[in-house]
Amino acid sequence: MKLKNPIAFLQSLMLTLLFSQSVTIISADDSQWRFTTPEQIISVGDIHGDFNAFVSIMKKANLIDSDNDWIGGKKHFVNTGDFLDRGPDSRKVMDLFMKIEQQAAKVGGKIHVLLGNHEAMVLTGDRRYVAKKEYATYINEDLVSDRQKAYRSYLSIYGLDDNQQSQNKFNSLHPPGFFGLHAEFKDSGYYGKWLKDKPFMIIINQKVFTHGGLSKTVGELGLEGINDKLNREMNDYAKLWYKFIEDGFFLHSFQRNELLAISNALIKGRIKKDRFTNKRFIKKVKRFLKLTDSVVSKPESPLWYRGTALCHQFSEEPMVNKVLKQLNASSAYLGHNVTNSREVESRFNARVFLQDTGMFKLAYGGQASLVVHNITHNAHRVQVLDADHGIHDIKEQLPRIWRRPYGMTNEQLENFLLTAQVVESEEVDEGITKPIKLTLKKGNRTIYAVYKSIDTNPSLERKNKWPHDGNNSDRYNHEMAAYELNKMLGLDIIPPTVVRSYKAKKGIFQFWISNAINRSKMITDKVTYAGSCSKSSQMALMKIFDALIYNDDRNTGNVLFQQDEWQIWLIDHTRAFVAKSKIPKVLKWNKLTLSNSFRKSLENLDEQLLKKRLSKYLHKRQISYLIKRKNKILARL
């Protein structure tokens, strides 16, 4: 056949091929994990083997009947992972999921079971959190031959004799049912086969459902990268781990450090057994080592990331907005982090919902909860159905969440600081303001506070004229002003503070942050920051606040990080609130960003409000210049 215009034909053919390839890429991209439905969506967080609590709330929502059969029709039901571990009845939970998956599919409904970090751990051999009662449910699958083979490997690798002591130690590491569970979670096992291809994340009606959070890595990987690349890496790791156990290279009980040590020892030629030193086996070990560094098990993984749930909303908000945009989503529903209230809560103006309410009461003291997504008149309404209160609206968290003593609110802490009895005192070595650490007791509760009384310019706030030395003032009142302003902004990065006398001298009592380390000590002791929350983002909040209050006395000694969750705390503001309109020279503007929520809080600081809240601590001139600096910050950032 002779073509009239071969060039045009080739161009047309290339376009056709390109288009067909692009269509294939799109259809194979993330569509299998992205859904749209006009039906009700119901989601649940961490179950952790509490079968009875889970079944009870499912019945309360009319999703299953008295025989635990699906009656939810075409509804979409989502579990965001962590149904395994801790509790005794994880197996029952899986059996229920497997049953209602099939039942829902037959009537047009959909059960979405996602993997959490605990499912990934069990699949890849990390079984530290499997309860003994849970192991016991696999006794029927626990083959004597598997236990005997594992025991021989155990004796061989550790060079032990077969005696009662060795048997007791082995049995304590491998309780009854251990090897049955091990077999069932292999990729060819009953539960392993079902679990291994479950997704880490899905999107329904532009709502993201995942276990951990929305890290920078999550946005970069995208839905397809998360569910394809990470899932493949997890399964490749699991296959090699199982194989190396069967080969006698690993033991079932090896922890991560032991897995790495023996693998590296082989690579470095320290292991001489012929069956392990051939090139093919070594190649697999190298692959295994590479997989130990997979994102799946890292803090930024969608299974592990805690920043979305725990970090200050002012600093985390830009990340949340960016990742949601990258995922083409409007909101996210997460598990992994038990809320302090043990109720479902929202963050970031109802763009993120925290679903883990500590259902397994024995471990977390929480309750079973379901998040109910309704569509009425083209509007989406999200509510919660929980065991304690029934159906109700979801409360928005404060911008900053931290573990207050005895679950007290800031107001309750302030009252405690004002009224509790001082039972002990000691001088604090650090600082030039000569602070005193106090032990306060009220009823059966004890907390610690720091007391300061320095005031180089008494009654400054009541003077008509601004004194010539006003900008050199060193005052405890400035600590109160900083705390109040921090509250007005919703920052909550200064510990609760009150005005109170001690030994007939007026000063401030400020809540003592336990388990905290200042940046000076971090530097001298070479302590590495280990938090989920971005250190630089937290420091940016500090810099903007310091600019607002004109605090050029910030140093490494008065910036603290609480070491459990590495959240920032600011102390020592006695020299702040200089009456200048300019910004302190120490502040560097490069790379500073102002989130929408922080900007809105700053914009809401009007003169009338500031005078009402701060005039008892600051001179009117200080408040006037505070407003000028606020306006400069808003214009600059």
* pLDDT single digits (tens) 251-305: 999 999 999 999 999 999 999 888 899 999 999 999 999 999 999 999 999 999 9
Structure token digits, residue 336: 């992994």
Contact 392, 518 (CB under 8 A): no
Asked if residue 486 and residue 510 are part of one domain, the reply reads: yes
CA dihedral (6, 10, 11, 17) in degrees, to 10, reads 160
431 and 391 within one domain: no
**Are residues 190 and 46 located together in one domain of the fold?**
yes
Asked if 467 and 609 sit in the same domain, the reply is: yes
pLDDT in tens, 615-636: 999 999 999 999 999 999 999 8
Q: 352 lies in a domain? A: yes
Indicate whether 580 belongs to any domain.
Answer: yes
pLDDT at 585: 76
Task: Report the pLDDT averaged over residues 524-545.
Answer: 94
- pLDDT value of position 512: 97
Q: Parallel, antiparallel, or unpaired: how do β-strands 421-427 and 379-386 relate?
A: unpaired
* 21 belongs to a structural domain: no
Total domains in the chain come to 3
Residues 497 and 517 in one domain: yes
Task: Answer yes or no: do 382 and 420 share one domain.
Answer: no
Question: pLDDT-based confidence at 9, cuts 50/70/90?
Answer: very low
Last residue of a domain, one of 396, 422, 441: 396
**Mean of pLDDT values over 470-491:** 97
Decide if 65 is inside a domain.
Answer: yes
Q: What is the 3-state secondary structure (H, E, C) of 486-505?
A: HHHHCCCCCCCEEEEEECCE
Q: Are 329 and 206 in contact (CB under 8 A)?
A: yes
Regarding whether 130 and 147 lie in a shared domain, the answer is no
Is residue 18 one of the residues assigned to a domain? no
Poorest-pLDDT segment among 375-389, 391-405, 465-479, 522-536: 375-389
Dihedrals φ, ψ of 538, to 5°? -70, -40
Residue 528 forms part of a structural domain: yes
User: What pLDDT, in 10s, does the model give residues 421-433?
Assistant: 999 999 987 656 6
User: Are 420 and 526 members of one domain?
Assistant: yes
11 inside domain: no
Quote the CA–CA distance of 179 and 166 in Å, as a whole number. Answer: 18
Looking at residue 346, which CATH number applies to its domain? Answer: 3.60.21.10
Q: What is the bridge-based pairing of β-strands 352-354 and 331-334?
A: parallel
Final residue before a domain boundary, out of 396, 413, 440: 396
pLDDT digits (tens, 9 = 90+) for 183-212: 999 999 999 999 999 999 999 999 999 999
| Contact present, 51 and 68 (Cβ < 8 Å) | no
Claim to verify: residue 184 and residue 168 sit in the same structural domain: no
Task: Return the pLDDT at 38.
Answer: 94
Encoding tokens for residue 451? Answer: 């007391």
Question: What is the average pLDDT value for the chain, to the nearest integer?
Answer: 93
CB 556 within 8 A of CB 520: yes
Element (H, E) at 507: strand 505-511
- Clarify whether residues 90 and 188 are in a common domain: yes
Task: Give how far the C-alpha of residue 491 lies from the chain's centroid of Cα atoms, to the nearest Å.
Answer: 19
Question: Quick one: 215 and 338 in the same domain?
Answer: yes
437 lies in the same domain as 576:
yes
Residue ending a domain, choose from 346, 379, 396: 396
Per-residue confidence at 381, pLDDT binned at 50, 70, 90?
Answer: confident
- CB contact at 8 A, 192 and 123: yes
Q: Residue 271 falls within a domain, yes or no?
A: no
Domain that holds residue 164: 143-176
